[in-house]
C-alpha cells in the first residue's frame, strides 16, 4: 500500500517530468526553427555571387 507521502511524491515527480518534457520540446523546436532560418540565410547569401559568374569562363572554379 502506498502512503499519502508516496502518492504526493509520485504526483510531484510526474508534474516535474511533464514540465521538463514540455521545456525540452519547446527548446528543440526553437533550435530547429533557428537552425533552418540561419541555413536558409547562409545558402541564399552564398548563392548570389555564383549567379553573377560567367558559366563559360574556363578559369572559373568548379566549387566555391
Rounded distance between C-alpha atoms, residue 26 and residue 34, angstroms: 12
DSSP sequence for 9-34:
HHHHHHHHHHHHHHHHHHHHHHHHHH
Q: Where are the domains of the chain?
A: 1-43
pLDDT of residue 22: 95
Residues of the chain with pLDDT under 70: 1, 46-58, 60-64
pLDDT of residue 44: 86
Amino acid at each position: 500500500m502506498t502512503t499519502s507521502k508516496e502518492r504526493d511524491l509520485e504526483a510531484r515527480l510526474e508534474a516535474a517530468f511533464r514540465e521538463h518534457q514540455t521545456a525540452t520540446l519547446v527548446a528543440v523546436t526553437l533550435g530547429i526553427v533557428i537552425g533552418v532560418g540561419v541555413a536558409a540565410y547562409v545558402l541564399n547569401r552564398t548563392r548570389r555571387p555564383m549567379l553573377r559568374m560567367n558559366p563559360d569562363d574556363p578559369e572559373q572554379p568548379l566549387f566555391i
